[in-house]
Amino acid sequence: MKRMFGACWRLLLALTLVFTATAATAPGTAQAVDYPGGKRIYAVTIGGIHPDSTGNQSFARLAMYYFNGNGTVTESFWFWDWGIGYPHANIKPTSAGCVGKACEIHTSGGFQAGALTKSLNGTYTNDGTQVVITWDGGQTETWAVGKPTAKLSSIGLRSSSYGATVGQGYGSNAPHDTFVPLNKVPRHKYLGRQNSITYVVKTGKIETDTGTSIMDLTSTAWKQCNGDCLSAGLPVGSPEACSACKPGETRAIRYYLASEGGRKNYYEHHCTCLRATGSDCYDGGSHVKPQLQVIDDDGVLHGWVGVEASNRQAKRGTLGVHWHTDV
């Protein structure tokens, strides 16, 4: 009897080991307890840019994704809808030290300090090359996982169930409150892409656009205004830029990159010919672009993910998604 019990036990143990090994190595099996690309925290831009006559379904979202390693994920985000107007908001830093006056710097309404963020919870599966997120409301996102460097991973949107058409994120294992102050930002060329929807004043039509994009901080025109702001006045690089300038007016763009601490950065630019005569400041329809820093495991900055939410009025201005990195 003891020999029979021992044989049965050994057989049961062998079958259990075989089943466990098979389940662990089955090809195509999604592993829920893992981090996409081995990284826990991602800065993400995602949106739906829809080229219909009204753009009613277009939106942009800027977010931090927190993967918990146990198959659950949390998102903290800011959201802008094409059909809603978002008046520009002033931020604390000014252009003092860069222009004749301490001009106000602006961001998209809802991104200023103290503005409330939204949140989502969900679950995810990850097979090493693809992560699928299901939010608690049932909406799904599928992302391709990449590895730009050993210390930084990326996710690129493949599809969604709720109208998101473009998205990109970068993740690392650095703590979520890690950031690089503006006086330590590497003066690199940060390349990327942008997708946007714009109301064209001259034609009264809504147009969409997609293509390459750049933040070039290598120019000597960029100055450190103060601890919270970088700024540059750069000549226009294309005939389409500053098309509102009158004949004979100097075509140049004033850029601001500002921070109040943390991963949030405020990017703004406007055509200098649109300022009131004799003024260094401009309070018109500038381009305002909320951004989140892309940080690797060592706390090194590699660029930004961001949105443009310059739609101060519903269905006017520009709404878009973009990213710029040096990897």
327: tokens are: 């990897």
Q: Which two tokens stand for residue 288?
A: 């305002």
pLDDT at 33: 54
Residue 193 burial by Cβ neighbours in a 10 Å radius (0-12, 13-18, 19+): middle
**What are the tokens at 117?**
């963020």
Q: Who wins on pLDDT, 37 or 277?
A: 37
The answer to whether residues 33 and 69 touch, using CB atoms and an 8 Å cutoff, is yes
Is residue 306 within 8 A of residue 291, CB to CB? The reply is yes
Q: What are phi and psi of 182, to 5 degrees?
A: -65, -30
Cα–Cα distance measured from residue 106 to residue 112, given in angstroms and rounded to the nearest whole number: 9
Buried b (16+ CB within 10 A) or exposed e, 31-64: eeebbbbbbbbbbbbbbbbbeeeebebbbbbbbb
Greatest alpha-carbon pair distance for the chain in Å reads: 104
- Token digits of residue 265: 């950065």
Report residue 236's pLDDT band, with 50, 70 and 90 as the boundaries: confident
| Nearest CA among 208, 190, 177 for reference residue 295 | 177
What is the DSSP code (8-state) at residue 99? Answer: B
Cα(150)–Cα(173) distance, integer angstroms:
11
How does DSSP assign 28-56, residue by residue? T--BSSS-GGG-SEEEEEEEE---SSS-T
Q: What value does the CA radius of gyration of the chain take, rounded to a whole number of Å?
A: 24
pLDDT in the model for residue 14: 38
pLDDT of residue 279: 85
The structure tokens 């025109």 sit at 221
Q: Which of 10-14, 73-77, 213-217, 320-324 has the lowest mean pLDDT?
A: 10-14
Six-digit token string for 202: 């001259």
Helices and strands in the chain: count of H runs, count of E runs:
1, 19
What pTM does this model have?
Answer: 0.88
Q: Which amino acid is at 17?
A: L
**Per-residue pLDDT at 259 exceeds 90:** yes
pLDDT tens, 146-189? 999 999 999 999 999 999 999 999 999 999 999 999 999 999 99
For the chain, the average pLDDT equals 88
> Per-residue pLDDT for 12 more than 70?
no
Q: How is residue 175 written in tokens?
A: 């703590």
Question: 4 or 285: whose pLDDT is higher?
Answer: 285
Q: Are 36 and 146 in contact (CB under 8 A)?
A: no
Has residue 3 got a pLDDT over 70?
A: no
